[in-house]
Amino acid sequence: QVQLQESGPGLVKASQTLSLTCSVSGGSISSGSYFWTWIRQPAGKGLEWIGHVFAGGSTNYNPSLKSRVTISIDTSKSQFALNLNSVTAADTAVYYCARDWDGGGWFDPWGQGALVTVSS
Amino acid sequence: QSVLTQPPSASGTPGQKVTISCSGSTSNIGRNIVNWYQQLPGTAPKLLIFDSKQRPSGVPDRFSGSKSGTSASLAISGLQSDDEADYYCAAWDDSLHSPVFGGGTRLTVL
C-alpha cells in the first residue's frame, strides 16, 4: 500500500524559503488520477490546505498562499516537493503530505507530518 | 475563520451516540461530497468517511456520515474511549476552487 514520508529542515529563518519533500513508496506517483497534496497545521489549530500537483505537473494553490507557494513533482524519484518563500512565524506548523483521490479533499493516505519552525 | 463550520467541542459517555455537524454553503457541501477525518492526539489525520457516507476498509461501522443540503454530519455510536480525537470535515469549494476544511471538533469521552 502507498506510504508517504515528509523530509526537510525542521528550522527555517524568517524571510527565507521553506522546502520539504514527500517521498512516495508502495505505488507509482505517476499512475492513476491522483493529486499530490500539502496540508499544514499550526500547533493547536486546524488543518489548512496548501495546494496540490497532478502527476502531469499541473498545480492548484490555496488563494491565500498562492503568491508564495510552489509545488513540483519528480516522477523519476517518486517525490513531490513544497517550496514556501518569504516565511514568517505564522508559517510555523506541522506540514503533511497526502494523496488526494479526486482533487476535492479526499485525502488518503497521509504522511506522518514534519514540524517546521520559523525562527527570527 | 474556516469556510466549513463545526462545533469546537463535543462529548459523550461510553456507549452513547454522538453527532458532529459540519455546515457549509451551496458552493461547497451543497454541490460536492464531504469527507471526514479523525486525528488522534499526536498523530496525522486519518480518512474516516469519504463521499459523504462511505467508510474505508477498516473503519468500524460505528462511524457513519450523512449529508443534507448544505450540511453534513458524522455520527459515532457505541462511543469508546479510543474515539477521543479531533474530527474534521472537508469538501471542495466551487467559489474558491480549492478544498476547504472545517475548524475541527474535539470529542471528549467522559
Distance from CA of B98 to the nearest CA of A (A): 7
Query: Which residues are bridge partners to B9 per DSSP?
Result: B106
What is the reported pLDDT for A110?
98
Q: For the CA atoms of A93, A94, A96, A102, what is the dihedral angle to 10 degrees?
A: -50
- The model's confidence at residue A32, banded by pLDDT at 50, 70 and 90, is confident
- The model's confidence at residue B4, banded by pLDDT at 50, 70 and 90, is very high
- The model's confidence at residue A55, banded by pLDDT at 50, 70 and 90, is confident
Average pLDDT in chain A: 95
A105 lies within 8 A of chain B by CB: yes
What is the reported pLDDT for B70?
98
Task: Specify the residue for cell string 459523504.
Answer: B52
Contacts of B99 in chain A (CB under 8 A): 49, 100, 103-105
Summarised one tens digit per residue, pLDDT across range B25-73 is 999 999 999 999 999 999 999 999 999 999 999 999 999 999 999 999 9
- The model's confidence at residue A58, banded by pLDDT at 50, 70 and 90, is very high
* Residues above pLDDT 90, as percent of chain B: 99
Summarised one tens digit per residue, pLDDT across range A81-114 is 999 999 999 999 999 999 999 888 999 999 999 9
Helix (H, G, I), strand (E, B) or coil at A45: coil
A100 lies within 8 A of chain B by CB: yes
Mean pLDDT of B2-16: 97
What is the reported pLDDT for A50?
98
The one-letter amino acid at B82: D
C-beta atoms of B46 and A110 within 8 A:
yes
User: CB of B34 within 8 A of CB of B4?
Assistant: no
Average pLDDT in chain B: 97
Of A46, A108, A109, the CB nearest to B101: A46
Please say if the pLDDT value at position B5 is more than 90.
yes
Separation between Cα atoms, residue A62 and residue B99, nearest integer Å: 8
User: CB of B91 within 8 A of CB of B29?
Assistant: yes
A106 lies within 8 A of chain B by CB: yes
Summarised one tens digit per residue, pLDDT across range A7-17 is 999 999 999 99
Separation between Cα atoms, residue A5 and residue B73, nearest integer Å: 31
Separation between Cα atoms, residue B83 and residue B41, nearest integer Å: 11
User: CB of B101 within 8 A of CB of A49?
Assistant: yes
Q: What share of chain A is helix, strand, coil (3-state, %, to 5)?
A: 0, 50, 45
A115 lies within 8 A of chain B by CB: no
- The model's confidence at residue A33, banded by pLDDT at 50, 70 and 90, is confident
The one-letter amino acid at B93: D
Cell of residue B66, nine digits: 450523512
What is the reported pLDDT for A103?
85
| Those residues with Cβ within 8 angstroms of residue B60's Cβ, 6 or more apart along the chain or in another chain | none
What is the reported pLDDT for A34?
93
